[in-house]
Amino acid sequence: MARIQQEPAFAKLVIAHLLSHIVRIEEGFADQLLNSSEKRLARILLLLARFGKPSEPKSAVLKVSQQTLAEMVGTTRSRVSYFMNRFRKMGFIHYNGGLQVHRGLFTFALQK
C-alpha cells in the first residue's frame, strides 16, 4: 500500500491490471449466461491455441485434459468429450499425442 501511495506510476499499473481482471471476469459471466457450453469450449480452445494473435498459426497443438477443459467451460467432462468428438468429426480438431486445433474452429465459434 505504501508503494502505491508513494509511486503514482506504479499505482496506475496496479489499477490498470485490476480493471482488466474485472473486465475478464465480467466477460466470463456474460459468456456463461449467453453462450452454450459448446461455444464456450470452442472459444477456450481458440484462446489456448492463441488464434487471433499477430503470429497466428494455421493450427496449434495443446496438451490439456478434458477434465481441465470441463472446469474451464463450466460443464462436465462427458459433455466436453461429446463436443470434442463433434469438433473432430467436423475437422476442427485432431488428436495425435496432443490436441491439434485447426483454424475452422474459429469460424464455428463466431456463428450464432
**Three-class SS state of 84:** helix
Predicted TM-score (pTM) above 0.75: no
Q: Give me the domain span that covers residue 104.
A: 36-112
Mark whether 20 and 40 lie in a shared domain. no
**Three-class SS state of 90:** coil
Q: How many domains in the chain?
A: 2
Q: 52-80, pLDDT tens digit by residue?
A: 555 555 556 778 889 999 999 999 999 99
CATH number at residue 62: 1.10.10.10
d(CA 6, CA 42): 44
Q: 14-34, pLDDT tens digit by residue?
A: 999 999 999 988 988 888 888
**Pair 41, 83: CB distance under 8 Å:** yes
Mark whether 26 and 78 lie in a shared domain. no
